[in-house]
Amino acid sequence: MKLCIPTLAGQGLKSTVSPHFGGAPYFIIVDTDNNAVEAVQNQNEHHAHGMCHPLKSLNGKLIDAVICSGIGAGALNKLNQAGIKVYKTNGETVEELVNNFKSEKMEEMKPDQVCRSHGCH
């Protein structure tokens, strides 16, 4: 499974998780099947509230799930429509989130848990 985690830097498993999906400078993509790790610069980092294009942000990378602390309703809906699940977390590093995911310690994000503005964290 390919997990996408928004981060503040492109430093692999040690990267600090960004508080918000759309405004993250980087995404770390972790393939849990082969432990491959890839940093992708957010191609849509600077956008108006409600105008996030999550699949454009990933620069064409294919993913199965997103793990994040916060995400807007539009991005959540667009990801879900593409068959991509979004999981809510409070972890601090990519490594911690991947381990929590593997341990099934996460639940899928619900529409009432989304951010209402970019300053929600």
Q: How do residues 30-49 score in pLDDT, each as one tens digit? A: 999 999 999 998 876 544 44
What DSSP string runs through 54-114?
A: HHHHTTT---SEEEES--BHHHHHHHHHTT-EEEE---SBHHHHHHHHHTT--EEPPGGGS
CB burial class (10 A; 0-12, 13-18, 19+) of residue 28?
Answer: buried
Residue 10 predicted with pLDDT over 60: yes
Q: Is residue 86 within 8 Å of residue 76, measured between CB atoms?
A: yes
Residue 75 confidence (pLDDT): 85
User: 21, 63, 61: which is closest to 45 by C-alpha?
Assistant: 21
The residue ranges of every structural domain in the chain are 2-109
pTM of this prediction? Answer: 0.85
Stretch (H or E) spanning 30? strand 26-31
Residue 9 predicted with pLDDT over 50: yes
Residue 60 confidence (pLDDT): 78
CATH of domain 2-109: 3.30.420.130
Of 78 and 31, the structure prediction assigns the larger pLDDT to: 31
